[in-house]
Amino acid sequence: MSKSPTLLSPCQVGNITLKNRVVMAPLTRSRAGEERMPNDLMKQYYSQRKSAGLIISEATVISPQGCGWLNSPGIYSDAQMKAWQPITQALHETETPIFLQLWHCGRASHSSFQENNQLPVSASAVKPNGDYIHTPIGKQSYKTPRALETEEIPPIVEDYRLAAERAKDAGFDGVEIHAANGYLIDQFLQSKTNQRTDKYGGSIENRYRFLKEIIEAVLTVFSAGQIGVRLSPNGVFNDMGCPEYRELFIYVAQQLNSYNLAYLHLLDGLGFGFHELGVQ
């Protein structure tokens, strides 16, 4: 009789064989400084966790526009790409694969993070209902974001592709597209934050289009078995939750299924709070 697998048995995730089934969740640590540069402290932190079967990195911003969290790392410059290399190399010595989580904060940002103090961008001009945000100039109230023009969306998709290319050059084994927790992609998915009337808004299919284009751009860099997507269908974090969340996220999961991606990573709401729209 064959033995049942245990937590410490190897397993296959997409293209990658994990030495065990312990996967480290992405955790923002804010240790990259104002320049958002990976460094020795981060190398030490990730190396200490080398016994995991797979590590998902902390959320890492794909562009200056995507920034919305103090001291989180970036992957939008060659210098950042090179600075990630010692970290991925250290993990590869112990056969610990690491995926880079790709992040654009969208409206969960503040003008003080943005070039020329511009407003943060989102699917629509809907202000997050929240007390304050930690910014480079201290605690600030949220501002109403600027809705992206239709023609501004393909360049952001291109930023994701470029970020994936840099992630590959930096030695990451794959990427996780952060479409959870009320950040930009989630802002496009959910009707609460997407009131657009162009091809990126309205129907569920249209609201999914932004994520679809990002996946297809990243697929030109990594194979499907090296790409994961994170969603948070039940989450209230960053003032999210839309009444048709069941139909929306079932549709998104069905669409993602067609790509044969490495995995779908769901955040259930236990950690960050439920929107409770399913409570009768």
Ligand X SMILES: Cc1cc2nc3c(=O)[nH]c(=O)nc-3n(C[C@H](O)[C@H](O)[C@H](O)COP(=O)(O)O)c2cc1C
Annotated catalytic sites, by residue?
183
Angstrom distance (rounded) from CA 191 to CA 197 = 12
Is residue 271 close enough to count as binding ligand X by CB under 6 A?
Answer: yes
Is residue 27 close enough to count as binding ligand X by CB under 6 A?
Answer: yes
Which residue's CB is nearer to ligand X, number 59 or number 227? 59
Q: Pick from 170, 230, 233, 252: which binds ligand X (CB under 6 A)? A: 230
Is residue 59 close enough to count as binding ligand X by CB under 6 A?
Answer: yes
- Nearest to ligand X by Cβ — which residue? 271
* Strand segments (E) across the chain: 11-13, 16-18, 23-24, 54-61, 98-103, 121-122, 133-135, 138-140, 146-147, 174-178, 227-231, 263-266
Size of the site for ligand X (CB under 6 A): 15
Q: How far is the CB of 224 from ligand X (least distance, A)?
A: 20
Instruction: Please provide the distance, in angstroms rounded to a whole number, between the alpha carbons at the two ends of the chain.
Output: 47
Q: Contact, 67 vs 117, CB < 8 A?
A: no
Is residue 273 close enough to count as binding ligand X by CB under 6 A?
Answer: no
Angstrom distance (rounded) from CA 12 to CA 20 = 9
Is residue 154 close enough to count as binding ligand X by CB under 6 A?
Answer: no
Which residue's CB is nearer to ligand X, number 20 or number 206? 20
Among the residue ranges 92-100, 133-141, 201-209, 265-273, the one whose residues contact ligand X (CB under 6 A):
265-273
Q: Which residues contact 87 (CB under 8 A, 6 or more apart)?
A: 38, 42, 43, 46, 47, 98
Contacts to ligand X by CB under 6 A: 25-28, 58-59, 101, 178, 180-181, 230, 267-268, 270-271
